[in-house]
Amino acid sequence: MSLYPPSSTLPTFDNLRAPQPPDDLDVSQVALEWFLTFSTAITSCKASDAVTLFVENSFWRDCLALTWDLRTFIGTEKIQTFLEDRLSVAKLSEMKLDESAVVLVRPYPDLAWISGTFTFKTEIGQGNGTFRLSPIEGGLFKAHTVFTNLIGLKGHPEVIGRLRNPVASHGLDWVEGRRKEVEFLDSDPTVLVIGGGHSGLETAARLKVLGVPTLVVEKDDRIGDVWRNRYGALCTHDPVCKSLSLNLNQIRLTSNGIRVSPHAVSAIS
């Protein structure tokens, strides 16, 4: 039976014909030198220069940052093609290494790598990434894996913290607002989500936070029936407003076990 990934892709000392990194290796300096060369090649859209910093059997995993998709490119040939296609479009800039996060990892006797993280900006947003540098011949280091991830869009900040609406909406105001939202009285939905299960609701909630009008259609009578019809002990919660504010004054240890005051029970029921 074949192995995946093939053993030849693992950056072992034997496969890379590399010596073990010395204990006194200045990993921060190694990572910084590699990253400066890497970021210069990437921001200059020089794909051929960038791939010289990778071992032959390497991996680049992209999550939306350069491809608007979840893609993995294996081997320097495919990585170079990917970079040639996408660097001029994504336009990475302001790449910064987090020097405090650089570390030498030795998971097995025949494996070691320098791990680091970085941030960057693109034409449309902000991202972060990670890399792993493996030792090669001559005491040098090259990348075995790189991961890039889009974490935000320009002009569309997360509506959290100080940007969250501080005004509570209860009573008739909330009911009226909710009715307009459900019936789409003021706008049409931009996205249709089929199925109000776990993934459907998470997708709709995420789109709502981003300000994208979304309609969810579900075959069951009520949202949550997909769980209610299966789990008799189901209890749904709102992670924003729910507060399990038990304290030591509300809990007493008796001869019959732990007893919770009625006030505390009503607060969490």
Residue 113 confidence (pLDDT) above 70: yes
Residues 56, 3: Cα–Cα separation, whole Å: 19
Q: Do the beta carbons of residue 94 and residue 69 sit within 8 Å?
A: no
Residue 215's pLDDT is: 94
Model pTM score: 0.74
CA pseudo-torsion sign 135, 132, 65, 161: negative
Length of the chain: 269
**pLDDT-derived band of residue 106, with 50, 70 and 90 as boundaries?**
very high
Q: Tell me if 72 sits within 8 A of 59, measured CB to CB.
A: yes
The pLDDT value given to residue 39: 99
Ramachandran assignment for 64, one of left (phi > 0), alpha (psi -120 to 50 degrees), beta (any other): left
Residue 240: pLDDT band with limits 50, 70, 90:
low
Provide mean pLDDT across the span 209-232: 88
Handedness of CA 175, 178, 179, 180 (dihedral sign): positive
Is residue 260's pLDDT more than 50?
no
Q: Poorest-confidence range of 102-116, 178-192, 237-251?
A: 237-251
Average pLDDT for 213-242 = 79
Structure tokens at 173: 């105001």
Instruction: Name residue 156's amino acid.
Output: H
Q: Which residue has the higher pLDDT, 228 or 133?
A: 133
The pLDDT-based confidence of 38 (bands split at 50, 70, 90) is very high
